Amino acid sequence: MRRYTRNMRGYGPQAPNANWPNGAKVAVQFVLNYEEGGENCLLHGDAGSEGFLSDIPGAAPWAGQRHWNMESIYEYGARAGFWRLHRLFTGADIPVTIYGVASALARNPEQVAAMKSAGWEIASHGLKWVEHKDMPEDEERAAIAEAVRLHTEVVGERPRGWYTGRCSMNTVALVAEEGGFDYISDTYDDDLPHWMEFGDRDQLIIPYTLEANDMRFAGAPGWVTGQDFGDYLIDAFDTLYAEGEAGAPKMMSVGLHCRLVGRPGKIAGLKKFIDHIQAHSDVWCPRRIEVAEHWASHHPHKRIERPSTMTKDRFVSLYGGIFEHSAWIAERAFELELGPAHDCAAGVHNALCRMFRSATDHERLGVLLAHPDLAGKLAAAGRLTAESTSEQASAGLNMLTDEERETFTALNTDYVAKHGFPFIIAVRDHDKASILAAFKRRINNDRDTEFAEACRQVERIAEFRLQDLFA
């Protein structure tokens, strides 16, 4: 059994209505990453200096050495940038979520006091601002536990949200395993919160952003001026606000760093953005934990039976009759590389159709022959499958006049004699009159043309059946 674990589907074409408080058209959530004092540094027991997210072009770690310039840039974030941002957000009466590196918080008690006094949420940004990608699983598990312990000791309460940033493939599962987090933000995969399942735990995910983020002042392609950043944020907001006005409200995350947008030449664009959103009505600016509480209350997780995680017996029992009396199609489809994208009607339909299309002509003919005549003897005798009975009834084929029945009988006989299989049409796309018209038109096709058309109709019938099943 091959299974593809990445989730490319998400909510699909119909995302839930976020139902933000007071009918807000968009939720704009500001995150301030507090990493100053938690970055790579020999003083912190690391093997080299920091090389990430600074104003030093092309910076790289210095193995075994301290980097005076890099350290001083991070110090600017703590000494000046934080306070400039603190004044901006408290003055605008907008609460923020801090992604706080536990070791950085421990080294900056005055800033922690200011965060708490402002009523800001302090979520965990890990133990240290370092890469997790090469950490052994047990080491990373221990680092997560120590981050929670130290955070609780420094802040006075445990973090309810988590964002690593420089995470490994194990991080999200390990944080969910810890069991105490209302949300995790180590994804960038949606404009709305969503749920993930880890064993018995239903974990809320609130996606973050790397594009509406001042980190692009420190990389390419990136922002050159504060106005670049502000204009981008405004464009993103205007798009989401319009979607909210159309009945599909979303969430916008804005990522900030003390040492980056905290500089005077960069913060002007952020101020422009804040002025812009405050000039609009129906905008909610929550802390991240409030988004989590809202989503858990209004959109609690519901576990469903997923085709991609079914046993073969269960998969075939559910989908073996989608193609009339042809369970072999479902048996083969089960062996495909199924994943979350197949946990919907369109996904199962695609998998089944692939096996039907790749079958031999003889096998596909068998599927066509398994279909009953329209309004034929099996229907009259009540021997159709439940699906076929319902489909034919939907077009009124169960209530024919004697004349109509004679017409269908004659057409069925002539069609089978010419083509060697029954006339097949997705009756839900038609009424009685259009079915008769199609019957009279298609009976004159050559066999190859009609074989291809019959196969298309079989796939369409399967599509309707799956939509019913998933509804």
- Which one from 86, 371, 419, 430 is the annotated catalytic residue? 371
Distances (CA, A) of 153 to 146, 147, 157, 223: 10, 10, 7, 37
* Other beta carbons within 10 Å of 447: 12
Task: Say whether 371 is catalytic.
Answer: yes
| Nearest-angstrom CA–CA distance, 287 and 94 | 9
| Nearest-angstrom CA–CA distance, 458 and 65 | 69
Nearest Cα neighbor of 19 from 302, 297, 249 is 249
Q: Which residue is listed with tokens 């760093």?
A: 257
β-partners of residue 99 are 33, 123
Question: Catalytic residue numbers?
Answer: 371
